[in-house]
Amino acid sequence: MINVTKTYFPPLEEYVKQLERIWRNEWLTNRGELAIELEGKLKDFLGVQNVLLMNNGTIPMQIALKVLGEGGEIITTPFSYVATTSAIVWENCKPVFVDIHPEYFTIDERKIEAAITERTTCILATHVFGNPCAVEEIELIARKYGLKVIYDAAHAFGVNYKGKSLFSYGDVSTCSFHATKLFHTGEGGAVFCNDHKLNHQLFYSHNFGHNGPTAFHGLGINGKISELQAAMGLSVLPHIDEIMKNRRNCVEYYNRHINFSICDKIKIREGSSWNYSYYPVLFSSEATLIKIIEKMNDNGINPRRYFYPSLNNLNYVNSLKMPVSEDISSRILCLPLSHDLDYKDLQKVVKVINSHE
């Protein structure tokens, strides 16, 4: 089966070397040597001020919402993975959806102001498939109304916008290091924050609120990453340039060979250095999409409807219709893309698409 993605497994001997360090240290969690080392290497690689590793990609969002959301209304996107909305609801805040831009698929910054009320506390927007939101316009709106900005940057590892890491924008950015992601720690994630005072609050919030062994700054939960996860990250990171290069080659093949009279591709925002994290295509109708999926499955290809459904249709939210998001989510498909797809696999995918009548 040619799957939509494939986990990168570093050379086993490299992971074993990291495991041997853990065994020597006899330290499995609670911010051990490997976790601290990985944070430092990620800071250098990404060019950011602060990195705080956590045990998955959702906990950073939940902590950011607990700290900044204050139980208020959170302006957010209906076109994202379900965790973006569920984190808001889980933290006893109210999601207020704003429809998405028809070309970039990110939250439509032109519609945000109309959704702001006196109960609004944050904007939580998603960099979709690594494609940046209109961060400068969102920042202006946030300053005008005294709002905080959280970015769900789960897909944005290695993306730069106008010369700096996309993680540098907003009050807080969160990222997933799940096994399916470009860079991964098996399970894991991180929070990025430029403000040192807020970063400290996020830090103690992920560590039960601890201020030393017996004192507490405030409320917290357990969001710590383990040394086993950090060992995987330290083994994957040296190969990230090769991973991205191979994925870029796949994207370039798709770009050259897919018949784009049958489908459209995402528009990457100008000023971005994209990371080749996903390859979404948009078909003319949901019926066409379903036919393509069926034909791909018959040929041993497993793409993914992603993101689907539009999150305003979840049964635990009350929302207005979001026509652009609902339309795009019904017609979008992520094609197989990974570090080791060979040309035969790519040809097979393209052949199914191009042979559709």
Q: Are 103 and 324 in contact (CB under 8 A)?
A: no
- Prediction pTM value: 0.96
Instruction: Output the pLDDT for position 224.
Output: 97
Q: Are 251 and 313 part of one and the same domain?
A: yes
Per residue in 163-204, pLDDT tens? 999 999 999 999 999 999 999 999 999 999 999 999 999 999
Q: Are 188 and 57 in contact (CB under 8 A)?
A: yes
What's the pLDDT tens digit per position in 225-252? 999 999 999 999 999 999 999 999 999 9
- Residue 357 confidence (pLDDT): 63
Are 199 and 287 within one domain?
Answer: no
Cα gap 222→242, rounded to integer Å = 34
Domain that holds residue 277: 240-354
Contacts of 184 (CB under 8 A, 6+ apart): 7, 8, 177, 178, 232, 233, 236
Q: Do 106 and 212 fall into the same domain?
A: yes
Contact between 109 and 137 under an 8 Å Cβ cutoff? The reply is yes
As for how many domains the chain has, the answer is 2
User: Which are the contacts of 354, defined by CB distance < 8 A and separation ≥ 6?
Assistant: 257, 258, 259, 262
Percent of the chain with pLDDT over 90: 97
DSSP class of residue 179?
Answer: T
Give the largest CA-CA distance in the chain.
68
Burial class (CB in 10 A: 0-12, 13-18, 19+), 173: buried
- CATH number for the domain spanning 210: value is 3.40.640.10
Residues 313 and 188 in one domain: no
Task: Give residue-wise pLDDT tens across range 324-337.
Answer: 999 999 999 999 99
Sheet holding 263-265, edge to edge: 263-265, 280-283, 332-334
Q: Judging by beta carbons within 10 Å of its beta carbon (0-12, 13-18, 19+), is residue 333 exposed, middle or buried?
A: buried
pLDDT at 212 over 90: no
Please state, in angstroms and rounded to a whole number, the distance separating the CA atoms of residues 169 and 274. Answer: 16
Domain boundary among 212, 238, 264: 238
Instruction: Give the per-residue pLDDT at 319.
Output: 82
| Whether residue 168 sits in one domain with residue 247 | no
- Is there a single domain that holds both residue 231 and residue 249? no
Mind listing the pLDDT tens digit for each residue in 106-145?
A: 999 999 999 999 999 999 999 999 999 999 999 999 999 9
* Confidence check: pLDDT of 17 > 70: yes
Query: Could you tell me if 116 and 163 lie in one domain?
Result: yes
Mean pLDDT of all residues belonging to the chain: 97
Predicted local distance difference test score (pLDDT) of residue 211: 85
Between the alpha carbon of residue 190 and those of residues 133, 225, 229, the distances in Å are: 19, 9, 12
pLDDT at position 277, please?
95
pLDDT value at 256 more than 90: yes
Compute the distance between CA of residue 266 and CA of residue 251 in angstroms, rounded to an integer.
Answer: 12
Tell whether 280 and 153 lie within a shared domain: no
- Per-residue pLDDT tens digits for 276-293: 999 999 999 999 999 999
Q: Which CATH number goes with the domain that contains 256?
A: 3.90.1150.10
